[in-house]
Structure 1
Amino acid sequence: MNTIKRMWKTEWPLHVMLLPGLVFILIFSYIPMAGIIMAFQKFIPSKGLFGSPFVGWKNFQFVIDYPDIGQIFFNTVFIAVMKIAAGLIVPITIAILLNELGKEWIKRTFQTLVYLPHFLSWVLLSGILIDILSPSSGIFNQLLGVFGIDPIFFLGDNKWFPYVMVISDVWKEFGFGTIVYLAALTGINPSLYEAAEIDGAGRWKQTLYVTLPGMMPIIVLMLTLNIGNVLNAGFDQIFNLYSPQVYESADIIDTFVYRMGIQQSQFGFATAVGLLKSIVSFIMISVSYMLAYRFANYRIF
């Protein structure tokens, strides 16, 4: 008891600092979970949560029987997996290249420039991308026209849209990932490079046999933690950039839930879809943390 009292006297400011975050999570994450009951109701706003009639598993049956639900899940996983893969490869490559720069001011300048897009919202970036990729006046299609290539409607073509989402997401976020991997590079013992150089290894061999193995724990950690986000393909980005003509390749679970619940007022159906996604995501997050502990010795508690 005396130990606990001493710890409380020294650590109570830290607990007070946590209080606003806990209140925020309670209000916006836990209290709204009462709305899960709508997944088992034919929800009528005028009757509320406790007055709307229960329909049991009927909403979930509607989800299973919905003709496009398979395509929606495929779009979500396809876009998310491509983002995860590209979000690992690009930052790792850039971090290694930056680490090879001799002049520190060049490295810091480039690092700052690539990190800036991380702070911009998709509302702002979507307007920029729409202008750049416009088939009539976009600078990208104008450059293609110089080489005799016909304009491409990147944001209105099902063939191109998913890849535009991946490339633009990587452009926005790879600066943040680069900082993480640069931090991992600083933890590699310089004597390993000296030993490799004495053994005759050039820069490429040093990268293969010293740099990448030294980065492997953080790479494995980031990969396993991203497994839990495989059903989060980026609502903010896609919602601001997609249109009905690319629903076939662009519609993901979150945008589908928004349209069904908010625009079409099918609250019970939308809640059932969201609940199924949450269950699957919870399982995958649990598995990802188990893998992170197994392969990277990462633990939350």
Structure 2
Amino acid sequence: MLKETKHTDLFCEYYEKWITVYKKGAVRKVTMNKYLMTHQWLVKLIPDLRLSECTRIMYQQLLNDYAECHERQTTMDFHHQLKGAILDAMDEGLIERDPTRKAIIKGKTPAFKKIKYLNQFELHNLLASLTLQSEVNWDYFILLVAKTGMRFSEALALTPNDFDFAHQTLSVNKTWNYKDAGGFQPTKNKSSSRKIQIDWQTVTQFSALVKNLPPDEPFFIKTKVYNSTVNDILSRRCEEAKIPIISIHGLRHTHASLLLFAGVSIASVARRLGHASMTTTQKTYLHIIQELENKDVDLVMRSLSGLC
């Protein structure tokens, strides 16, 4: 398909062919959708630009136009998705010089988004309000996410075989494709495959709950599941407990926040959450880390004053 391409062809058409040849079937659907979205932006911003006209100044103008309505990180992702195709076009002799060289990434200033999470007292009230019956229900799902910090899709994919009750661990090695037709799919990244230590109370509750269930089938999945449905249930539980309303993802934030406030290291929290690096954890929970640093300063000052 790409062999038929000429340097006079439209850049957006070349990019569409490129993602079909190199990315279709090689990346996850969510990633493929990002490449397709990038193509749509090319059609919108540079519909008539030909490969031979792709110079540094034209490329920089493209990035600038895109950055007008996107944050810097999103513009960076846009740049990276285009660069792979452009370098391949250079290898084929369709573009003479690398137009991405020394590209300057701009973007809108991101709005400060303070993550929503519960404090320990509020979480205690939430868990106390749950109705944990003898059969699987969404209250058990809420409990497990609160106790483990798993992502929504990770918790949906759990099967009885994922529990190692003897060693008090839970294996996270897959996700559930709830956005489409269902079925297992890989974890978000390599670091997302992990074992999570669980407390004895959770062991007791879930060992009885999954005892007679099919070992390799996800026990939370009965029919098509929507994130909004589970969030609605959690909202009602929050209202019943008279605490702030948060989402399932907010429970993940709650789990991480409580661990950080308890003094657990950033490295351990990152591993437990399945983050690709500690940098992700630090960026996500920056305001909490800053609060802890302020407490550390007070502790240091009190310790030093006691030396007199």
Shorter-chain TM range is under 0.3
Higher RCO (C-alpha under 8 Å, 6+ residues apart) = 1
Higher strand residue share: 2
Instruction: Normalising by structure 1, report the TM-score.
Output: 0.26
Structure holding more helix per residue: 1
TM-score, normalization: structure 2?
Answer: 0.26
